[in-house]
Amino acid sequence: MSIKILRHPADLYRVAAETFVRIATHSVAVQGRFSVGLAGGSTSKSLYPLLANEPGLRSWLPTECMHFYWGDERHVPPEHADSNYRMANEVMLSKLPLAPNQVHRIQGECPDAARAADEYERELCANFALAPGVYPRFDLVLLGIGPDAHTASLFPHTPAPQETARSVVANRVAALGTDRITLTIPAINNAANIVFLVSGADKAVALREILEGPRDPRKLPV
């Protein structure tokens, strides 16, 4: 694990964008494809436009070989303001020359969140050509961290962080009064690269507990 501490948010986003491009180009050079799990939230929302708009970064993206997935999704339709798909599409994906089959969104509009999770698990199985029970191997999973040490939609003291059989589950987050759909810990940990983007003083206490405190996946899913 490597930890980069950067003084200004703009530096964080640039280093993250350069890391994204490095992993994408390497993945395509080695295996002809790059599969990334995107994060939601404001930190990643500041990264994505760099990839779509900065010529020195965008020109390096092997867009024709890239496949975009999500680490989690809110239980809302794709046009909803809270949709992680909508955010990434607005600030990045809609600006890249992608075919529809390169964007694999979680169907947050499905009335039953558990069914949306099942559907996404099938989407992963088909696109990663997985045998039953095998986790996908993303080339990169981008993740944020909440002040409560959640990541994706793996919230403290909720059922999802304990899931070890599935790659995708619905997760009831009582504190938010909502359901989410999320990759599970084993599916995320099977990735070739994981990058946590962490910005803001409100994350400092959680980050110190995560890095220096005792391991406690129920309390600290990160």
CB 117 within 8 A of CB 168: yes
Residue 84 contacts ligand 6PG per CB under 6 A: yes
Residue 41 contacts ligand 6PG per CB under 6 A: yes
- Smallest distance from the beta carbon of 22 to ligand 6PG, in angstroms? 21
Residue 37 contacts ligand 6PG per CB under 6 A: no
What residues contact 83, with CB distance under 8 A and at least 6 apart?
73, 74, 76, 77, 108
Residue 121 contacts ligand 6PG per CB under 6 A: no
CA distance 218 to 126: 31
Residue 171 contacts ligand 6PG per CB under 6 A: no
Q: Give the residue closest to ligand 6PG by C-beta.
A: 144
- The runs of H, that is alpha helices, within 32-140 are 42-53, 55-58, 84-91, 113-127
| Number of residues lying near ligand 6PG (CB under 6 A) | 15
* Nearest CB to ligand 6PG, comparing residues 28 and 68: 68
Residue 16: alpha-carbon gap to chain centroid: 13
The site map against ligand 6PG for 139-158 (x = CB under 6 A) is -----xxx---xxxx-----
What residues contact 91, with CB distance under 8 A and at least 6 apart?
45, 48, 49, 52
- Smallest distance from the beta carbon of 99 to ligand 6PG, in angstroms? 25
Instruction: Identify the residue among 16, 72, 135, 161 touching ligand 6PG (CB under 6 A).
Output: 72
- Among 71, 83, 13, smallest CA distance to 46 is for 13
Only one of the segments 37-45, 57-65, 105-113, 157-165 lies at the binding site for ligand 6PG (rule: CB under 6 A); that segment is 37-45
Residue 40 contacts ligand 6PG per CB under 6 A: yes
* Beta strands per DSSP E along the chain: 34-38, 66-70, 72-74, 140-144, 168-173, 178-183, 194-197
Using CB under 6 A, list all residues that contact ligand 6PG: 39-43, 71-72, 84, 144-146, 150-153
